[in-house]
Chains A and B, each alone.
Chain A
Amino acid sequence: MAETGRLSAAPSFNLRADPVLALRVAIIIAVLVLWQAVAASGLLYRDVVPSLFAIGGALVKLLTSPEYYRNLGVTAGEVGAALLIGGLSGLVVGLILGGSRLLARAYEPYLYYLGPTPKIIFFPIMIMWFGVGPGSKVAMGAISCFFPIALSAAAGMRQIEPILIRVGKSFRANTWQMVSKIYLPAMRHPIINGVRLGLGVAIIGTLLAETKLSNQGLGFLIIQAYSLFDMPRMYAMLIALFMIAIAANAVVGWVGNLDRVKAGAS
């Protein structure tokens, strides 16, 4: 699963030599051409499907405005804090559930039921608890990423080769050494996968919350553009956001591939 979802056919850019890359590029071109055709045809209201040039212009304007970067910083900070809080608590809960058959049987069903629940229903509560500022957004992001990370960590812990645990015990590693030197490194792939899923839903949770009730952040900018009916700007924002999501995913995947190098340095 880790392999198939990766968007990094990085090295070769030779379209003829790489049919996968050629197909990927082809569909993007097809969508752009179709979009431009629809925009030019006037079949839909001009502002709903603005021309690529209008979007491109808005994108340039957006990417050169300090306002965008300030709000990007706010959202990035919220997502980062959410990932930190939700991720660490998810990791701890996952380790506990992964380590205890009894607790896993008792509590893991809750995680499975709550995991797929749309977290936005908690937003009103979070506003009451943490206010309309970044606090409630962080909370939404944290709740969102807690579940996939906890479940991945619990599953990952159960997949650790028992022999590695026996080796650790035979060398008399204490609990902390077992966790830091055996459990966590042995679980690196499921954990990174969990963080990847968690990052995705943390971004979703945070942005969704921002679009609902906020006065800053990318979600706020998008909904502001929408209410001002500035469609090129809104599409530009979506494109920018899309790029950020891809970049974030690539970074997490890259960190995941680092493990050999990292292990060598420890």
Chain B
Amino acid sequence: MSQVASVGAQGSDGILVVDDIVKRFETAEGPLTAVDHVSLSVKPGEFLAVIGPSGCGKSTLFNIVGGLVDSYEGTVTVAGDRVRGPHPAIGMVFQEESTFPWRSVIDNVAFPLEITGMRKTERLERASHFISLVGLDGFERRYPAELSGGMRQRVSIARTLASEPKILLMDEPFAALDEQTRLLLGDKVLQIQQELQQTTLLITHNITEAVQLADRILVMTYRPGRVKRIVDIDLPRPRSSEIVSSEAFGHYVAQIWGDLREEASRGMRDEETRRKA
């Protein structure tokens, strides 16, 4: 397994390097290895998607890279700097609803700048820029409760982008949204990525989303989470959601589903046996 895993860390040209991560949890049924010797490397400006079935430890990986989990084996480095705790160069976008309901859109987006102590006029200016980048002009003074789920998730993305992270780390940011909104937001992400040359690591279980957005896709195995395969997505950029109807797109989706199917069904069986027990 180790030589397969090492496929991830291709040389040292990565700005984000995850090296040989192992994370175990103590559970009621004994120790569980959630992430098993996972290595990967993201090059500057690259969009890497990590895809895997539920229970493959991808959210654990997200939290480890984000510095929200300690006590694991292996290292995470950003431009050579070891990640211990949340790193200023990494900006996280979470799966859950995460806007601050008591803050207006602009104050939500300005939050990270407030934390770093930027002056008010400057941070509001910067926040407006990122609000318009995610296409929410005119909603600056609205509150999250007045927005749709997709708009709120765009606020979260703008908030993270406002901190100008070297690496954008996203955990299924569109999981709670319907398919059409998801595709359209995917377009938005593609456009932003194009504009900012944003290095991105996306965690997802959605194949369409991964193929639509990524330069490379890393497929993980079901429990313990290992690197099963890395697929280069050779679709032209700039892309848009229209690409989902192309033949090449279908080919990639089929290929990745081929890899994932086995893992997902293993996960499903495992889930069933555990529920029976």
A24 within 8 A of B: no
- Contact among A170, A173, A260 for B102, CB-based, below 8 A: A260
What number of residue pairs across chains A and B have CB atoms under 8 A from each other?
60
A181 within 8 A of B: yes
Interface residues as binary, A146-174 with B (CB distance below 8 Å gives 1, 0 otherwise):
00000000000000010110110111110
- Interface set of B (CB-CB < 8 Å, partner A): 66-68, 85-86, 88, 91-92, 94, 96-98, 100, 102-104, 107, 111-112, 114-115, 141, 143, 163
- Contact among A167, A188, A260 for B98, CB-based, below 8 A: A167
Query: In whole angstroms, what is the CA distance A186 to B100 when docked?
Result: 8
Q: Which residues of A contact B68 (CB under 8 A)?
A: 166, 169-170
A18 within 8 A of B: no
Q: Which residues of A contact B92 (CB under 8 A)?
A: 166-167, 170
Q: Which residues of B contact A185 (CB under 8 A)?
A: 100, 102-103
A172 and B88 contact, CB distance less than 8 A: yes
A263 within 8 A of B: yes
A259 within 8 A of B: yes
Closest residue of A by beta carbon distance from B146? A260
- Contact among A163, A170, A263 for B97, CB-based, below 8 A: A163
Would you list 26 pairs from A and B whose C-beta atoms are within 8 A, ordered by A residue?
Answer: A161-B96, A163-B96, A163-B97, A163-B98, A164-B98, A166-B92, A166-B94, A167-B92, A167-B94, A169-B68, A170-B66, A170-B68, A170-B91, A171-B163, A172-B115, A177-B115, A182-B100, A185-B103, A186-B102, A259-B102, A260-B102, A263-B103, A263-B104, A263-B107, A264-B104, A264-B143
- Interface set of A (CB-CB < 8 Å, partner B): 161, 163-164, 166-167, 169-173, 177, 181-182, 185-186, 188, 259-260, 263-264, 266
A171 and B66 contact, CB distance less than 8 A: no
Query: In whole angstroms, what is the CA distance A185 to B96 when docked?
Result: 19
Q: Which residues of B contact A169 (CB under 8 A)?
A: 68, 86
Query: In whole angstroms, what is the CA distance A170 to B63 when docked?
Result: 10
